[in-house]
């Protein structure tokens, strides 16, 4: 069965500190991984996807198939990064359902 695990429900860091939000997945096929973010009072929006291999708002995430992980990283956190972050998995092709992790609430303190 497909499963996404985000072990940290809450994560708090200080401004300027590095941040890493962990995501592990379970899927026997070829996965497509996403990070979605929900800022306060805003809709859920795509932050990045692994096939794009791009950096958005300073965030990066590398798919590690050996460790079945897709951790989200940023070297210097900003207060505006405070939000709820969800890791999601799509089955091969990406046109099927998304399986979401439970989310990590990131708080960046001044």
Partner 1 sequence: SAVISQKPSRDICQRGTSLTIQCQVDSQVTMMFWYRQQPGQSLTLIATANQGSEATYESGFVIDKFPISRPNLTFSTLTVSNMSPEDSSIYLCSVQGNSNQPQHFGDGTRLSIL
**Interface with partner 1 (CB under 8 A):** 34, 36, 43-46, 49, 86, 93-95, 97-103
**Residue among 54 and 79 whose Cβ is closer to partner 1:** 54
**Residue among 11 and 98 whose Cβ is closer to partner 1:** 98
Q: What is the smallest separation between the CB atom of 95 and partner 1, expressed in angstroms?
A: 4
Q: What is the smallest separation between the CB atom of 77 and partner 1, expressed in angstroms?
A: 23
**Residue among 26 and 78 whose Cβ is closer to partner 1:** 26
* Tally of residues, the chain: 110
Q: What is the smallest separation between the CB atom of 102 and partner 1, expressed in angstroms?
A: 5
For the CA atoms of 25, 92, 52, 97, the dihedral, rounded to the nearest 10 degrees, stands at -70
Q: Which two tokens stand for residue 19?
A: 């941040």
Q: In which residue are the tokens 């990131």 written?
A: 106
Buried b (16+ CB within 10 A) or exposed e, 33-66: bbbbbbeeeeeeeebbbbeeeeeeeebebebeee
**Residue among 3 and 14 whose Cβ is closer to partner 1:** 3
Q: What is the smallest separation between the CB atom of 81 and partner 1, expressed in angstroms?
A: 20
């Amino acid at each position: 069965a497909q499963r996404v695990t985000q072990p940290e429900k809450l994560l708090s860091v200080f401004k300027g500190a590095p941040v890493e939000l962990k995501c592990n997945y379970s899927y026997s096929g070829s996965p497509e991984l996403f990070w979605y973010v929900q800022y306060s009072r805003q809709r859920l929006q795509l932050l990045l996807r692994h096939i794009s291999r791009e950096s958005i708002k300073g965030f990066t995430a590398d798919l590690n198939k050996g460790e079945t992980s897709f951790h989200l990283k940023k070297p210097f956190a900003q207060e505006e990064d405070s939000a709820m972050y969800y890791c999601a998995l799509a089955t091969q092709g990406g046109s099927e359902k998304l399986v979401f992790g439970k989310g990590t609430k990131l708080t960046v303190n001044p």
